[in-house]
Amino acid sequence: MPEEAGATWLPNSNFFAGREGHTPRYVVLHGTAGGISAAQIATYFQSTQGSENPVSSHYIVDQQGLVVQCVSEADGAWGNGVLSAGHAAYWQHLGSVNPNNVTISIEHVKASFDNADQLSEAQKSASFQLIEHVCRRHGIPMRAADEHGGIASHASLDPVTRARCPGPYPWEELFAYLQHNSLVPAGWRDDTAKGVLHAPNGYVVIQGFRSYVLSHPWAADNWPLENEHHREQLERSNAALGGGSIQRFRKTTLEWTPRAGLCEQWTGVEMMELERRLDQSVGTINRGTMNQGTINRAPTETPTP
Ligand SMILES: [Zn+2]
């Protein structure tokens, strides 16, 4: 079973099982320097099993945007075992650890033997999404690699024989994409063109509330319980705040008024006020039951429309 949704699973046996105890901290990007399709490259990897030079990568992304997975992310694929002279300084800290045990390798199908091809639009889109998903699954930093992890080129490990791997790649566009998407809670989807943030449960977050969610630490399970709407009195505990826009989430309430702007409700204060009123109201009902045999006394306050 592929770990990446939508990927085709064409496995081979060229890997270090269980990463020999290590965990992935880097994504390494490659170009195939020849070949047409992801499936063809996967078949090639299979053909090297048991040979003198068995090779593999975790993923292959072709120019049609198709993704093939060949090795489980739990295992170390045999794609970048050589650390050659002139490698990026941050790899030095690995010491004797085989780079394959701390990396997830992604091949990009490029027909030219020097990897000179630019990615196709479909390939770029599939590559960006795959990288984001891989980073999320393993907590890999979504930025250029340093000694703490991140995203690197094969050339950064082996500038001697792999200087042109992956060849041209839209790095700046990738990092811009990841920087934006790293702020979108996992499982949510942000439509930047329309300015609509879609939560997994179908509600949406727009305008200032969207900006707020995207610019503050926001738990993925802090879903909206409703869409943004107007309310004449936003808070029972702070009548002076007046009316405005409100949207309740599972753990947070966002409010906006023309005068105060956007604020997070002091949910605890509001809850205590509501509980106090509820207790009063229940007290009234109980007395009503005992004294007059009915619970249908006049409500203590008019419900908000
Ligand atoms: Zn490579």
Q: What is the mean pLDDT of residues 193-206?
A: 95
Phi, psi for residue 191 in degrees, rounded to 5: -95, 95
Q: What is the mean pLDDT of residues 265-276?
A: 96
89 C-alpha to ligand 1 centroid (Å): 18
70 C-alpha to ligand 1 centroid (Å): 15
Work out the angle at residue 183's Cα, subtended by the Cα atoms of residues 207 and 69, and round it to the nearest 5 degrees: 130
Question: What is the share, in percent, of the chain residues with pLDDT greater than 90?
Answer: 82
Among positive and negative, which fits the CA dihedral 93, 108, 127, 23? negative
The confidence score (pLDDT) of residue 40 equals 97
157 C-alpha to ligand 1 centroid (Å): 9
6 C-alpha to ligand 1 centroid (Å): 24
158 C-alpha to ligand 1 centroid (Å): 9
Q: Which tens digit of pLDDT belongs to each residue from 131-184? A: 999 998 998 999 999 999 999 999 999 999 999 999 999 999 999 999 888 889
292 C-alpha to ligand 1 centroid (Å): 84
pTM above 0.75, yes or no: no
Q: What is the overall mean pLDDT for the chain? A: 92
Q: Is the pLDDT of residue 290 over 70?
A: no
The confidence score (pLDDT) of residue 192 equals 83
Identity of the amino acid at 29: L
Q: What is the mean pLDDT of residues 81-91?
A: 93
The confidence score (pLDDT) of residue 302 equals 47
pLDDT band at 289 (very low <50, low <70, confident <90, very high): low
Identity of the amino acid at 105: S
What residue ranges do the domains of the chain occupy? 8-181, 189-265
10 C-alpha to ligand 1 centroid (Å): 19
CATH class of the region 8-181:
alpha beta
Structure tokens at 1: 């079973």
pLDDT band at 209 (very low <50, low <70, confident <90, very high): very high
pLDDT band at 304 (very low <50, low <70, confident <90, very high): very low
CA dist 196 and 105 (Å) reads 33
CB 96 within 8 A of CB 142: no
Q: Which tens digit of pLDDT belongs to each residue from 23-59? A: 999 999 999 999 999 999 999 999 999 999 999 999 9
CB 30 within 8 A of CB 154: yes
DSSP state of 120: P
33 C-alpha to ligand 1 centroid (Å): 9
268 C-alpha to ligand 1 centroid (Å): 54
Q: What is the mean pLDDT of residues 212-218?
A: 87
Of 95, 85, 98, nearest to 28 by C-alpha is 98
